[in-house]
């Protein structure tokens, strides 16, 4: 079912809705979403999607009831939290959810009782190696409660009794919420862009992917498209499993896909290939990153990580890779309070949107051609294709692009394959093909006729 987003979000996260006008930049969106306490279900996700609908009015919000079987899983009870704190015997708050929403173990069961220092310590989580940071911890599928805090604050808690309050609910009559946007193209074949929307105040892990996907969708909506583009904003793991279970027909149309995550922090771009390893999307990302001349790394598929592992599970085996900067767990700020607004750079978000849009351009324009003058090299000078074409800005590279496209336009090599083999920028190969097509030296080859 779809939701009108009528359920109100927790008061603790209402600061995120204070802006009367949507921020015009990806970083502005990250700033606005940062205070919200999200989880795999609940009002934090609804509040986040309500804000995204201001940017993407056609975004459809789905509600899947708790208890619904989804593949081998079941949609869990919906979790919401209003407040949480730990007070000492003087009534002073020594841990306060309203100060930082990472302070509560995500999905904590409700608690209101007194505990000794030793009893409380069994429910505390901290990082001895990073004593100033609050860790992010969850207990989605095993009932538990707890608090996360800086390790030096944990060590400073004296002996005594502590009053604990976690004002939360786990509603078996609740739902899992996710957002979906379809930008129709001239073809029913689809490109899937997926990002997770389940983490609380973590700017790089969660919000950077949301911001990049949102502004990429706005960009693509302004241009004609061959492919249809499906954007999904889902809770991690259970969200993609739920989406896959409800879209067994849709997945047959997915030709390419990318998971967008960890795109705002420092570090080089890192691409994790799909399970197929040599899908067009894997090759397109590799060529775009090569052409960008930015430092980057291409990694093989692994069945561990983000939602690409669900899309690439053997029963679906979709061509979906994961594009990020420094991967999860490989930067010290990962899943800590240091993944804050200072950690995300606006220029990194913009650069990521540009890389995604270039990948889209490769997928959109990648075609097969037939050389209409394949016996010997055609005379290029009388057709205006010999030297100096395009203003002469590319020089020898332009001339080589012409020759490579002519030589490999044998109905077996796509423009992407030509860019790979020649080592020349894809955009130059694309321009060369357009120039040869205009001179009737190439003819397009449809996939159905190959």
Per the annotation, where are the binding residues for Zn(2+)?
199, 205, 335
CA torsion sign for 374, 380, 386, 389 is negative
Query: What is the spatial distance between Cα 53 and Cα 59, in angstroms, rounded to a whole number?
Result: 6
Instruction: Give me 382's structure tokens.
Output: 């009388």
Q: Which residue from 257, 254, 255, 259 is spatially nearest to 270, judged by alpha carbons? A: 259
Q: Could you tell me which residues come within 8 angstroms of residue 111 by beta carbon, excluding any fewer than 6 positions away? A: 145, 164, 165, 166
Pairing of strands 254-260, 320-324: parallel
- State how far the alpha carbon of 71 is from the alpha carbons of 2, 39, 74, 318, in Å: 20, 21, 8, 16
Distances (CA, A) of 159 to 87, 120, 156, 198, 399: 13, 10, 10, 36, 78
Euclidean distance between CA atoms 321 and 449, whole angstroms: 28
Residue 99: Cβ-neighbour burial (10 angstroms; 0-12, 13-18, 19+): exposed
Place of tokens 């609908």: 53
Q: Which residue has the tokens 């302070």?
A: 103
Q: Please give the Cα distance from 230 to 185 (Å, whole number).
A: 10
Residue 84 and residue 200: Cα distance in Å, rounded? 15
Q: Rounded distance, CA 37 to CA 33, Å?
A: 9
Do residues 318 and 254 make contact, with C-beta atoms less than 8 angstroms apart? yes
Integer Cα distance of 7 and 42 in angstroms: 9
Where is the binding site, in residues?
199, 205, 335
| Vertex 373 angle, CA 369 and 375, to 5° | 120
Distance (Å, rounded) from C-alpha 94 to C-alpha 157? Answer: 8
- For residue 178, the tally of other CB atoms under 10 A from its CB is 28
Q: Are 106 and 148 in contact (CB under 8 A)?
A: no
Q: Are 325 and 262 spatial neighbours (Cβ–Cβ below 8 Å)?
A: yes
Eight-state DSSP code of residue 282? H
Q: What does the block give as tokens for 234?
A: 């889902």
């Amino acid at each position: 079912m779809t939701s009108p987003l009528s359920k109100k979000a927790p008061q603790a996260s209402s600061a995120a809705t204070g802006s009367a006008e949507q921020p015009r930049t990806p970083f502005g969106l990250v700033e606005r979403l940062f205070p919200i306490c999200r989880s795999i279900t609940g009002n934090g996700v609804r509040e986040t999607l309500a804000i995204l609908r201001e940017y993407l009015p056609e975004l459809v919000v789905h509600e899947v009831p708790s208890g619904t079987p989804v593949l081998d899983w079941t949609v869990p009870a919906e979790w919401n939290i209003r407040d949480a704190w730990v007070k000492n015997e003087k009534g002073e708050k020594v841990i306060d959810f309203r100060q930082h929403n990472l302070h509560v173990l995500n999905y904590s069961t409700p608690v209101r009782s007194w505990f000794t220092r030793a009893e409380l310590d069994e429910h505390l989580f901290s990082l001895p190696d990073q004593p100033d940071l609050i860790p992010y911890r969850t207990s989605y599928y095993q009932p538990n409660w707890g608090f996360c805090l800086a390790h030096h604050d944990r060590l400073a808690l004296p002996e005594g009794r502590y009053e604990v309050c976690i004002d939360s609910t786990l509603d078996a009559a609740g739902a899992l919420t996710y957002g979906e946007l379809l930008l129709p193209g001239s073809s029913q074949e689809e490109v899937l862009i997926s990002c997770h929307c389940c983490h609380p105040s973590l700017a790089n892990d969660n919000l950077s992917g949301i911001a990049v996907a949102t502004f990429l969708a706005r960009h693509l909506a302004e241009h004609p498209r061959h492919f249809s583009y499906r954007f999904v904003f889902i809770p991690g793991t259970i969200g993609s499993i739920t989406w896959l279970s409800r879209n067994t027909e849709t997945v047959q149309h997915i030709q390419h896909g990318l998971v967008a995550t960890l795109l705002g922090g420092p570090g080089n771009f890192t691409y994790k290939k799909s399970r197929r390893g040599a899908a067009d999307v894997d090759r397109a990302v590799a060529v775009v990153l090569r052409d960008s001349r930015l430092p980057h790394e291409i990694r093989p598929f692994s069945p561990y990580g983000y939602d690409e592992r669900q899309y690439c599970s053997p029963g679906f085996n979709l061509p979906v890779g994961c594009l990020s900067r420094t991967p999860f767990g490989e930067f010290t700020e990962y899943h800590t309070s240091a993944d804050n607004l200072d950690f995300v750079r606006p220029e990194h978000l913009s650069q990521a949107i540009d890389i995604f849009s270039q990948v889209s351009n490769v997928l959109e324009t990648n075609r097969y051609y037939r050389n209409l003058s394949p016996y010997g090299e055609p005379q290029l000078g009388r057709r205006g294709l010999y030297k100096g074409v395009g203003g002469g800005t590319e020089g020898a590279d332009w001339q080589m692009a012409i020759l490579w496209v002519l030589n490999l336009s044998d109905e077996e090599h796509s423009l992407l394959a030509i860019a790979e083999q020649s080592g020349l920028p894809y955009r130059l190969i694309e321009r060369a093909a357009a120039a040869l097509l205009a001179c009737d030296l190439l003819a397009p080859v449809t996939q159905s006729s190959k």
